[in-house]
């Protein structure tokens, strides 16, 4: 099936309404769908549940949605670079579900594969296991975790074709491919949109069957934390 090729980022996120659950690809600021996030900020959509590895920084990425009070709940594994995130949590303004990074990745992968739940040893014997189902296999305890799905997945790719096939660049591959599979509707922000047949099938990371819409855009690719070497 031909995919929807959006002509504006505002159009691309127009179906995302209040109380939606969205997955957002990226690790730190690497591989985040920058322009789709900016369009969400401008849309004023609110009461979002966001599933992402982290919540950006104060002035970029998901941090902009957080600053605008558009996020009610954050499901992630790392929150260390965002002071506003810390402030909202301590003030009781934001619900947070912190999960070990590997567990979060597997929850998303399982959701995309149609697996409702799985057992993991991560978190057993910690506060993460309180109130959760724990079962022993071969004498070792494991924690039951649910697979994750989202109403919308927003991902970022280096290249995409008009059939929705995606190629990610190096570290930007992080959470993007698994989130593309776990969204009921997946929208891909691509740096370069090419014609059908222009991508080598052996190099495709996400098949087009998982993608419903694409939009081409230029990213700033900001650096999360700039470290400079001192001159000798």
Cα separation of 185 and 211, whole Å?
7
Q: Tell me which H or E stretch contains 58.
A: none
pLDDT at 220: 80
Task: Name the CA radius of gyration of the chain, rounded.
Answer: 18
**pLDDT-derived band at 229, boundaries 50, 70, 90:** confident
> Which residues are registered as beta bridge partners of 232?
none
Q: Does residue 227 have a pLDDT over 80? A: no
Cα separation of 192 and 124, whole Å?
44
Residues 163-212 have pLDDT tens digits of 999 999 999 999 999 999 999 999 999 999 999 999 999 999 999 999 99
15, two tokens: 């179906």
Q: ∠ CA 153-108-69 to the nearest 5 degrees?
A: 50
Measuring CA to CA, which residue among 86, 40, 91, 80 is closest to residue 62? Answer: 40
**DSSP of 140-179, one letter per residue?**
EEEEEEE---EEEEEEEEEEEETT--EE--GGGGSSHHHH
pLDDT at 231: 75
Q: Does residue 232 have a pLDDT over 70? A: no
**Residue ranges of domains in the chain, CATH in brackets:** 4-117+149-216 (3.40.1080.10)
Cα separation of 151 and 156, whole Å?
17
Percentage of residues in the chain having pLDDT higher than 70? 98
Residues 8-22 have pLDDT tens digits of 999 999 999 999 999
Measuring CA to CA, which residue among 22, 27, 153 is closest to residue 80? Answer: 27
Cα separation of 98 and 110, whole Å?
18
pLDDT at 4: 96
Residues 99-117 have pLDDT tens digits of 999 999 999 999 999 999 9
**pLDDT-derived band at 1, boundaries 50, 70, 90:** low
**pLDDT-derived band at 59, boundaries 50, 70, 90:** confident
């Amino acid at each position: 099936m031909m995919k929807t090729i959006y002509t504006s980022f505002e159009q691309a996120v127009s179906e995302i309404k209040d109380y939606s659950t969205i997955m957002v690809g990226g690790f730190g600021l690497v591989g985040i769908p920058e322009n789709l996030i900016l369009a969400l900020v401008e849309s004023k959509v609110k009461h979002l549940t966001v599933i992402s590895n982290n919540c950006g920084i104060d002035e970029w990425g998901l941090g902009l949605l957080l600053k605008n009070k558009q996020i009610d709940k954050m499901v992630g594994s790392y929150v260390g670079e965002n002071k506003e995130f810390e402030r909202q949590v301590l003030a009781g303004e934001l619900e947070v579900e912190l999960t070990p990074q590997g567990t979060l990745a597997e929850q998303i992968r399982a959701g995309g594969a149609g697996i409702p739940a799985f057992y993991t040893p991560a978190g057993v014997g910690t506060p993460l296991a309180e109130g959760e189902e724990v079962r022993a296999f071969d004498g070792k305890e494991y924690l039951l975790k649910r697979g994750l799905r989202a109403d919308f997945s927003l991902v970022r790719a280096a290249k995409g074709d008009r059939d929705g096939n995606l190629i990610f660049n190096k570290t930007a591959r992080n959470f993007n491919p698994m989130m593309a599979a776990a969204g009921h509707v997946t929208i891909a922000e691509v740096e370069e949109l090419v014609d059908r047949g222009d991508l080598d099938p052996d190099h495709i990371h996400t098949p087009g069957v998982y993608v419903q819409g694409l939009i081409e855009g230029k990213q700033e690719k900001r650096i999360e934390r700039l470290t400079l070497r001192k001159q000798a």
